[in-house]
Structure 1
């Protein structure tokens, strides 16, 4: 267990400076209010304060390793406050006796040839004991204050680590929700192409493998440039276009300054999945998906809109796509106002307002 004062250089320097101030105050009082010479006053102050400083530092170890200091449920039951007080009182008393005894012997060794000093030392013993008790009590309080804030700091760190672990677990869960129907349909399309157009089948296999590789990328790359996210969405749309042909039309209006802005990986896929599911399934009309992006007030504004047939039979689904987007944005930015949707007659629009970030932080 590291000593809270010795382990930190800055605190140790402040601690030593505090004792230097106490040393000068002590010496000044002896010179001003006693018959001791300056040399005797300085020597007495140096001996008593130096030994008390060392003992005060060592006072931490019996407190830290005493049985009642272990914060367990059992000790809380069998160690009442009275025992806790007595324990500290005994440690303080033993330290006080050691301090007075060692200081007296050392001062007599250097200053014992002066009768006036010997008399002063004997007469001042009760006052020294009272001051020593006060200083040791303050030292005990200091250790408990440091221990309290250290406990708060450790608890905060653990809570942050726990939040991070929960966040990573939730992100993994969100990433794991790759639509299996898309994969099955893609494989069926590839199977058909192997007969009618083998070259296109090979290209589709390559695009599908690239898309899946991106989708399953490690969570350490959970933030990626918009450029990579759009490239992957183009792969996804190219794969879907094999199935739907001219019924699926997509265009992108992306400002160049947007491409290097980082966004959560796989953020856009549920939007395009939703557009295709509700725009093309159970409808013979073509769907047009328009994607635009620009920077406004240090926010990345992304808009994805598509038309759909309001009279078509609604497609049944789990309804988790847009909810996943909201959850993911909240996990990354701790905000609920970065995502919105709008529907008017046969038109559906999704809007993102993502804080601009040009590096992975």
Structure 2
């Protein structure tokens, strides 16, 4: 349906605009001496209101030529033809309304050939302006629809991303945990029970947090704690962790489940291969309206057979790009004995 005629506020504004046009025409008639001011108003206002609805057909004329496939010559021919045809309708309305008023002795305006030509030109010009305005209105609607479509695409992409994350939590982690629980049931039932509770707590938290767009760093740290609690039962004293998070960084916002995969990588590609284990250090601080997060873990000088291909880090980098554009960054560095990841995000506080 027509976007103006289907909206009461827009319709009122549209009619007011045409009434202003009618007042301009009445002023022209009064200044040229063709009619008094009151007669000119009585003549022009009803005609422009009716013609306003005729001019609204410009919307459908513009829609008949989609902008994406529009060519210059057909567009000019169509717009000029429609303007001339509508100018004829406008002139017919004006002369017909004047003849009716003359026959009823309301008023009599004698139009000269020049004034008839001016009326016809005014009708053509008003319709052409209506075409251009409706063209602009359609262009704005297209932009708005494109933005809505892009927003929906981002939401769908986020939902797909979260589904992928839930699917990735991590079959290997789940299988290893279940195997550990199975082994512990015969040698340490207390540890098996503790690991079962910790595993359930981790999945409960991960599913709850993944439904949110952003979460406070403190909640992400709590999720990492739950994950480490499970892994520490598996690895024992071999796995240690140190978290150093500033107070302001605790309430900084970030996408959910951003750090947990990095903690998992630190265990899988670092701590697990070391006979003495090591410490995973996570630091969070705020500097100059930026949130800085670093994760560091020791690693073996000799890469194991399970060395990663960096796909997880690349996925996180792409995820940050989708959320923050070029404002966020992730960098990683490997030495012979350590691996570190640094993430920088624009500061957003909860």
Query: Quick check: TM above 0.5?
Result: yes
Q: CA deviation at 1:130?
A: 3.3
User: For 1:353 and 1:72, how far apart are their aligned partners in 2?
Assistant: 42
The corresponding residue for 2:47 is: 52
- Structure 1 residue 52: deviation in Å? 3.3
Please name the residue that 2:187 is paired with. Answer: 196
2:218 touches 2:251 (CA, 8 Å); kept in 1?
yes
Distance 1:26 1:85 in 2: 22
- C-alpha separation between the residues in 1 aligned to 2:267 and 2:69? 61
| Structure 1 partner of 2:88 | 93
- Aligned counterparts of 2:114 and 2:267: Cα–Cα separation in 1: 96
Q: What does residue 7 of structure 1 align with? A: 7
CA distance in 2, matches of 1:67, 1:21: 22
Cα distance change of structure 1 residues 232 and 167 upon mapping to structure 2, 3 Å threshold: closer
- Secondary structure of the residue that 1:102 maps to in structure 2? helix
1:292-311, Cα deviation, whole Å (9 max, x unpaired): 21211122221211112213
Q: How has the CA–CA distance of structure 1 residues 7 and 318 changed in structure 2, closer, same or farther, with 3 Å as cutoff?
A: same
The alpha-carbon distance between structure 1 residues 187 and 171, as it changes in their structure 2 partners (threshold 3 A), is closer
- After superposition, the Cα gap between the structure-2 partners of 1:156 and 1:22, relative to the gap in structure 1 and judged at 3 Å, is same
Superposition RMSD in Å: 3.4
C-alpha displacement of 1:159: 3.2
Task: Name the CA distance, whole Å, in 2 between partners of 1:211 and 1:272.
Answer: 14
Task: State the match for 1:42 in structure 2.
Answer: 37
Task: Please report how far the alpha carbon of residue 14 of structure 1 lies from its aligned counterpart in structure 2 after TM superposition.
Answer: 7.4
How many residues align? The count is 348
**1:295 & 1:80 partners in 2: Cα distance?**
57
Aligned to 1:161: 152
1:282 Cα deviation from its structure 2 partner: 3.4
User: How much does 1:70 deviate?
Assistant: 7.3
Determine if the alignment matches structure 1 residue 140 to structure 2 residue 131: yes
Q: Please, what TM-score do these two structures have when normalized by structure 2?
A: 0.84
Q: Any stretches of 5+ residues in structure 1 without a counterpart?
A: none
Moved more, 319-328 or 13-22: 13-22
Counterpart CA distance in 2 for 1:20 and 1:209 is 70
Relative distance call for 1:318 and 1:10 in structure 2 (3 A) is same
Q: Does structure 1 conserve the Cα–Cα contact (< 8 Å) formed by 2:279 and 2:297? A: yes
Give the stretch that moved more between structures: 227-236 or 49-58. 49-58
Query: Quick one: structure 1 residues 92 and 225, their matched pair in 2 at CA, closer, same or farther if it must change by over 3 Å?
Result: same
Q: Which residue of 2 aligns with 1:273?
A: 264
Contact 1:275–1:306 (Cα < 8 Å) also in 2: yes
**Match in the other structure for 1:343:** 334
* 1:295 aligned counterpart, secondary structure: strand
CA contact (8 A) 1:47 1:106 kept: no
Q: Which consecutive unaligned segments of at least 5 residues does structure 2 have?
A: none
Distance in 1 separating the partners of 2:202 and 2:258: 14
Q: How does 1:1-361 map to 2 (within 5 A)?
A: 1-4=1-4, 7=7, 9=9, 12-13=12-13, 16=16, 19-20=19-20, 23=23, 25-34=24-33, 36=35, 41-60=36-55, 62-64=57-59, 69=64, 71=66, 82=77, 86=81, 89-106=84-101, 109=104, 111-112=106-107, 117-119=108-110, 124-217=115-208, 219-317=210-308, 319-335=310-326, 337-359=328-350
Q: Is the 8 A contact 2:59 2:135 kept in 1?
A: no
Question: Against the structure 1 CA distance between its residues 94 and 310, is the aligned structure 2 distance closer, same or farther, given a 3 Å change threshold?
Answer: same
